[in-house]
Structure 1
Amino acid sequence: MLKRMLIIYNPVAGQRKFHKLMPVAEQILEDAGFDVTLIPTTEQVKSATKIAKQGVLDGFEIIVAAGGDGTVNDVINGLMQAPSQPSFGVLPVGTTNDFARALGMAKDPIEALHIIASGKAVKVDVGRANDEYFINNAAGGKITEITYAVKESMKNKIGRLAYLVSGIKLLPKLAPKQVKITHDNGVFEGKILLLFATLTNSVGGMEKLCPPAILNDGYMDLLILKKVSPAKLLKLLAAIKNGSHLQSQDVVYVRTKQAQIECDTSLNISYDGVYGGETPYKLEVLPEKLVILADVTRIQHRLQK
């Protein structure tokens, strides 16, 4: 009996990349023994979340998100809101594809389709941020706004450069925030520029932001950047290339299963690049909550031994 697969795709992601691939994708997956249904997202807020949740109720055994990190996050939230979770797949056809990078998915969508078709899978952690879910990271601070403020039209026009352009515009507006962050190892209180609570090593296209991160160890890696001068900030950003930023006295790095974030004014939080509201925020890890299709040989070093 054919396995039922639902592909939820963003029709405008990555310069409409999946739309061009659709006939090939269907053929590859049907040849591999899947009964494939394709449903596009719409401009309605969280349309992919609703489609994914209904897909679970309709009995699909595998649900695939074809798009960028925003599409992946919306689908994850739909799966986690459902009474049970089918296997999940990621087809990276967005602009940055952070989670797909962390998962070791091939950059070439055709190769990624073959990985999905193989049926090999691994269990990974899922994060919860208040009542929402994330699969890659939660972040706070002014500079993180570029992940959800960049327009789709701009990303389609200049690709990942859209984030760089927006980031340069935001630099003069960076202002430290007084926060209190409670985690398993204690409490941090002070002024910060930004923070990341990440489940993977890949954030904003940077695969060395958190090299120690493991996909299924039940922990999030919490990085807190203290208040620093613009010059020191640029040095720290440069240090990310080799991972030496984690040793800086201006960076707090801890592994924790939960974190509570409070701010004296307001601090915007995003998860997987999607706007998530303002503090206070409670973050926690749900260990090995989701089965994800992946080539395990590519990510052995990112899995708990």
Structure 2
Amino acid sequence: MLKRMLIIYNPVAGQRKFHKLMPVAEQILDEAGFDVTLIPTTEEEKSATAIAKQGVLDGFEIIIAAGGDGTVNDVVNGLMQASKQVVFGVLPVGTTNDFARALGMAKDPIEALQIIAAGEKIKVDVGQANGQYFINNAAGGKITEITYAVKESMKNKIGRLAYLVSGISLLPKLAPKQVRITYDTGVFEGEILLLFGALTNSVGGMEKLCPPAILNDGYMDLLVLKKVSPIKLLKLLASIKSGAHLQSEDVLYVKTKTATIECDTSLNISYDGVYGGETPYKLAVLPEKLTILAEATRIQHRLQK
């Protein structure tokens, strides 16, 4: 009996990459024994979330997000809100594809489809924050706004350079925020430039930001960049490649199951690069909450044994 698979795809992601891939995708998955249905997202906010929830109700056994991190986040939210759990999959055809990188998913969409078709499964943690869900990271601070401020049209024109252009424009506005962060083993109070509650090692295309992050250990890696001068900031950014930033006195880095963030003024947060509101907010980890199609041998160093 064929397994019913729903592919929710973003028709404009990655320079409309999935449109070109669609006939090959159907062929590979049909030959692997899947009954495939394709549904595009729309311009309506959170359309992929609604489609995913309905897909569970309609009896699909596997639901795939074909797009970038925003599409992945929307689909995950739909699955987590559904009445029962189904198998999830990611086809990376977006601009940055952070979660797909952390998952060890092939960059080549054809190879990624073959991994999906193979049907190997792992369990991964899911983050929860103020009634919303994330699968890669929650991020706060002015500079993190670039992830949801960049227009789709710009990403389609110049790809990942769009984030660099927007990041440069935000640097003059990079003002510190006074916060109180409560985590499992302590409390931090002070001025910060940004923070991450990361479930994976890949943030903004940087796979060295939280290298110790494990996909299914029940913890998030809390990384907080304290207030520093522009020169120190540049040095810290340069040290990410070697991982030395984690030992800096200007960085708070701990593993925690929960974190509560409070701020005297507004502090925006994003979940997997999607705008998620302002403080206060509480982050929590739901251990191994989602079953996902992935090749474990490609990500062994990021999985709990």
Shorter-chain TM-score: what band? over 0.9
Instruction: Name the residue aligned to 1:219.
Output: 219
Letter of the structure 2 residue corresponding to residue 284 of structure 1: A
Measured in 2, the distance between the counterparts of 1:84 and 1:283 equals: 23
Instruction: Name the residue aligned to 1:245.
Output: 245
SS in 2 for 1:48: helix
Instruction: Name the residue aligned to 1:114.
Output: 114
Instruction: Name the residue aligned to 2:297.
Output: 297
Measured in 2, the distance between the counterparts of 1:69 and 1:37 equals: 21
Q: Deviations over 1:85-130 (max 9, x none)?
A: 1000000000000000000000000000000000001000000011
Report 1:254-265 matches (<5 A).
254-265=254-265
Instruction: Name the residue aligned to 2:26.
Output: 26
Letter of the structure 2 residue corresponding to residue 130 of structure 1: N
Structure 1: gaps of 5 or more residues: none
Instruction: Name the residue aligned to 1:191.
Output: 191
Measured in 2, the distance between the counterparts of 1:18 and 1:95 equals: 12
- 1:242 Cα deviation after fit: 1.2
Q: Deviations over 1:210-230 (max 9, x none)?
A: 000000000000000000001
Letter of the structure 1 residue corresponding to residue 174 of structure 2: L
The number of residue pairs the alignment matches comes to 305
Q: Deviations over 1:174-196 (max 9, x none)?
A: 00000000000110000000000
Measured in 1, the distance between the counterparts of 2:115 and 2:83 equals: 27
Structure 2: gaps of 5 or more residues: none
SS in 2 for 1:276: strand
- 1:202 Cα deviation after fit: 0.1
Answer yes or no: is 1:3 the counterpart of 2:6: no
- Give the aligned CA root-mean-square deviation in angstroms: 0.3
Measured in 2, the distance between the counterparts of 1:50 and 1:106 equals: 27
SS in 2 for 1:167: helix
SS in 2 for 1:193: strand
Instruction: Name the residue aligned to 1:55.
Output: 55
Report 1:135-174 matches (<5 A).
135-174=135-174
- 1:84 Cα deviation after fit: 1.2
SS in 2 for 1:202: coil
* TM-score normalised according to structure 1 size: 1.00
Q: Deviations over 1:224-272 (max 9, x none)?
A: 0000001100111111111110000000001000000000001000000
Query: Moved runs in structure 1, 4+ residues, more than 4 A?
Result: none
Measured in 1, the distance between the counterparts of 2:259 and 2:85 equals: 25
Answer yes or no: is 1:83 the counterpart of 2:83: yes
Measured in 2, the distance between the counterparts of 1:132 and 1:201 equals: 21
Instruction: Name the residue aligned to 1:41.
Output: 41
Measured in 2, the distance between the counterparts of 1:231 and 1:74 equals: 37
Measured in 2, the distance between the counterparts of 1:40 and 1:139 equals: 28
Measured in 1, the distance between the counterparts of 2:138 and 2:273 equals: 8
